[in-house]
Amino acid sequence: MKYIAAVIKETLRLHPPAATARTSAPGTGLTVRTPDGQEHCLDGVIIYNCESLIHRDPDVYGDSANTFVPERWIGEDDELSKKYSTTLPPNQIPNSAWRPFERGPRSCIGQEFANIELRVIIAVVARRYDFVKVGLGEIEIDETNLPVTANGGRLKVKPELYNTRQVTAKPVDGMRMKVKIA
């Protein structure tokens, strides 16, 4: 279950389901300072937290910021975790660098339940069924009918699957699959 939890966390990091916005009432004097020292007044401004950018910060996630590496969440003593270097070990990644359920007083009250539910569903469904992606994101197969590996030992896909951003993130092709009983 430790690896399933890491896969869920990494999936939510790379493909957060939604984003959030905040507003500051006019006259509050809310200002922010940019890394280059400039200050900006945000009174009356709606601020959009783009989790997709926050979750791919190379200062936090290193060279593998745009790569699916669930091992980064397992622990610094784990061999797989050492293989895929990140700037910070999992226990030192700031809370603000992973926020698919948002943070603070507006965080999702059902996030723990959602994580438990996801782990149970994946464990039960993955044991009973085989899923094969078709269309965008389909795994490339060689002439001996084996998957082709790409950089880092990951499986190579034919055309890349990507999300469309509306209110929530959705795979552009609806995530088409072939499902067989295992």
Does the pLDDT value for residue 136 go beyond 80?
Answer: yes
Domain chopping of the chain, boundaries: 1-107, 109-182
Mean of pLDDT values over 33-61: 89
- CA-to-CA distance for 20 and 22, rounded, in angstroms? 7
Instruction: Name the average pLDDT for the chain.
Output: 83
Confidence of residue 84 (pLDDT cuts 50, 70, 90): very low
Q: Region 97-106: what's the mean pLDDT?
A: 83
Measured CA to CA, the distance from residue 120 to residue 90 in angstroms comes to 23
| Per-residue pLDDT reduced to its tens digit, 158-179 | 888 777 777 677 788 888 899 9
Q: What type of residue is 43?
A: D
Distances (CA, A) of 138 to 6, 10, 93, 144, 154: 22, 20, 32, 17, 13
Residue 36 or residue 94, greater confidence: 36
Handedness of CA 128, 145, 161, 63 (dihedral sign): positive
Q: Predicted confidence band at 68 (pLDDT cuts at 50, 70, 90)?
A: confident
As a whole number of angstroms, the distance between CA 91 and CA 181 comes to 38
Highest mean pLDDT (candidates 56-70, 71-85, 98-112)? 56-70
Q: What is the pLDDT of residue 81?
A: 46
SS3 181: strand
Q: Say which residue, 91 or 111, is predicted with more confidence.
A: 111
